[in-house]
Amino acid sequence: MHSRVGANTASGGSPQAVSMTYTIPAGDGAKHPQRAGKTGADKQPVLAVRVRADSPAALLAIIPHLLGFAPESSLVIIGTEAPRGTVRVTLRYDLPDPPERELAAEIADHAAAVLAAQRLGAATVVGYGPRELVRPLAAVIGGALSLAGIAVSATLRVQGGRYWSDAGGEEAGGPDQGVPFDETGHPASVALTAAGQPVLAGRGAIVAGLAPVGGIAAESMRQATRLAERHVSQILAKVTKSTRVGAARHLIAAQGLAAVSSLIGIYRAGGQYSTDYQLAWLSVTLKDLRVRDDAWARMDPQDRGAHLRLWTDVVRRAQPGYVAGPASLLAFVAWQDGNGALANIALDRALADVSGYSMAILLRQVIAAGTPPAMARLPLTPAEVAACYDDLDKDDLCDEDADAGFCKDGGAAAEAADRHRGDQEARLGE
């Protein structure tokens, strides 16, 4: 992993001056598994420069860059590592409104488990919202962290461009009206923005950036997808006259594998798709798990910038029924990049398209557990994927979809990744 910005807080009181070097993603938008729609654990994207948080105002200026957007109605927890208080984890949760004790306990238990799994000894808690919503949740989280042996270095509340410190009571942190700070004009924020780490207006901006295209672009993609579907039907019609459907599926997969390799190469070279049909055909053939798993195996983290562009383009233009595969691949690459917000929004798109899509479910579990990007390893090589599918009979690996000639969800890479996830969970639990 390359170095990133982190945040550092000392074990007693306000954040102290100390450089930040490494972070792990906390899934923004990743809803708490037991209370979908109510909470979200968000982890930060990779930051490319080092900054120093020498005051609460500096820390508050950095947090939006850690998350990738300006938090609102949120509870942010920054987990730090001794001896210098280097930031390792940044978690964001939706602020329950109205306060709910059971939900607060779920959030607190999840945060404590993630920080404890990373063996972090201290944390800073920052609530964005009114006192009556922040204080109850912050208190429950503080208790849970204490029970887990994690010291709360500082608790801050932010509202209307001002902050309050809750060390020994909110009033003890400054005037009743709070301490004003400049989130975007602070030198730390300016340095990060100049280094190519802009902050979006909110999580909604990330959602909008992954929303389906509309208007003429949407109609063009619908037509291109119908052409791709007709091409599949023509292959099936020709091959099934003389042999079984499995042969047709292998022929479709071969063309899909060629499309994957071609578009990945184009994007890695700095290019982009040239016709809607390229993306339509790719999205259709990704329904075949041999094609999807081959694409997955090619997601080398050193090229994640190009891969993020590719899968974002495909997800935005893929038609209903063809979104789950590319959205799951985008989530995996976003996780590699440390961008939990984008990863979880991509998973939302995947599961909205196919509610039981196993790759998306697997990634959601892994990201929700606070697994760092360093663990986003490729489950198999492309050659291993090919060998696995060649060695297994189609009925052993998956059932045939008689209408499309594709394998259903499951897949060799997903099985390998699931085993890998189990190994990582075992390590985290040691």
Summarised one tens digit per residue, pLDDT across range 80-125 is 887 777 788 889 999 998 888 899 999 999 999 999 988 899 999 9
Q: What pLDDT does residue 83 have?
A: 72
Both tokens of 395, joined, read 């009925």
Q: What pLDDT does residue 187 have?
A: 82
Distance (Å, whole) CA 402 – CA 64: 48
Q: What pLDDT does residue 240 have?
A: 58
Residues 200 and 216 in one domain: no
* DSSP, res 319: P
Q: Which residue has the tokens 């081959």?
A: 294
Instruction: Return left, alpha or beta for 157; rule: phi > 0 is left, psi -120 to 50 is alpha, else beta.
Output: beta
Average pLDDT (302-319) is 96
pLDDT band at 245 (very low <50, low <70, confident <90, very high): low
Query: 284 or 407: whose pLDDT is higher?
Result: 284
pLDDT band at 378 (very low <50, low <70, confident <90, very high): confident
Is residue 6 situated within a structural domain?
no
Q: In what order do the strands lie in the sheet with 86-94?
A: 86-94, 74-81, 122-128, 151-159, 162-165, 179-180
Is residue 1 situated within a structural domain?
no
Is residue 242 situated within a structural domain?
yes
Compute the chain's Rg from CA coordinates: 23
Residues 57 and 157 in one domain: yes
Residues 187 and 252 in one domain: no
**What is the share, in percent, of the chain residues with pLDDT greater than 90?**
48
**Angle between helices 358-368 and 412-428 in degrees, nearest 10:** 20
Average pLDDT (45-71) is 80
Residues 233 and 152 in one domain: no
Query: 242 or 260: whose pLDDT is higher?
Result: 260
Residues 223 and 107 in one domain: no
Q: 3-class SS at 178?
A: coil
Contact (Cβ atoms closer than 8 angstroms) between residue 114 and residue 89 = yes
Residues 77 and 140 in one domain: yes
Res 166 pLDDT > 90: no
Contact (Cβ atoms closer than 8 angstroms) between residue 91 and residue 76 = yes
pLDDT band at 46 (very low <50, low <70, confident <90, very high): very low
Q: What pLDDT does residue 190 have?
A: 83
Average pLDDT (271-300) is 94
* DSSP, res 264: H
Residues 194 and 218 in one domain: no
Is residue 320 situated within a structural domain?
yes
pLDDT in tens, 123-157: 999 999 999 999 999 999 999 999 999 999 999 99
Which residues make beta-bridge pairs with 81?
86
Res 413 pLDDT > 70: no
Single residue among 204, 233, 259 that ends a domain in this structure: 204
Single residue among 150, 176, 204 that ends a domain in this structure: 204
Measured between its terminal Cα atoms, the distance across the chain in Å is: 23
Q: What pLDDT does residue 241 have?
A: 57
Average pLDDT (385-405) is 54
Count of domains forming the chain: 2
Query: 82 or 396: whose pLDDT is higher?
Result: 82
Residues 383 and 267 in one domain: yes
What residues contact residue 100 under an 8 Å CB cut-off, 6+ apart? none
Query: 396 or 248: whose pLDDT is higher?
Result: 248
Is residue 24 situated within a structural domain?
no
Q: What pLDDT does residue 75 have?
A: 94
Q: What pLDDT does residue 49 have?
A: 65
Kindly report whether the peptide bond that precedes residue 187 is cis, defined as omega within 30 degrees of 0.
Answer: no
Res 426 pLDDT > 50: no
Average pLDDT (262-273) is 96
Q: What pLDDT does residue 376 have?
A: 83
| CA distance readout (Å), 384 to 157, 251, 298, 301, 412 | 51, 19, 11, 18, 9
Is residue 353 situated within a structural domain?
yes
Average pLDDT (335-346) is 90
pLDDT in tens, 171-230: 444 557 889 998 888 888 888 888 777 788 788 889 999 999 999 999 999 999 999 999
Q: Which of 374, 369, 359 is nearest to 407 (CA)?
A: 359
Residues 219 and 199 in one domain: no
Residues 289 and 235 in one domain: yes
Residues 299 and 378 in one domain: yes
Mean residue pLDDT across the chain = 78
Is residue 5 situated within a structural domain?
no
Residue 200: domain span: 30-204
Residues 191 and 297 in one domain: no
pLDDT band at 247 (very low <50, low <70, confident <90, very high): low
Q: What pLDDT does residue 169 have?
A: 45
Q: What pLDDT does residue 314 have?
A: 98
Is residue 18 situated within a structural domain?
no
* Planar angle of CA 348, 94, 362, nearest 5 degrees: 35
Q: What pLDDT does residue 172 have?
A: 44
Single residue among 170, 204, 238 that ends a domain in this structure: 204
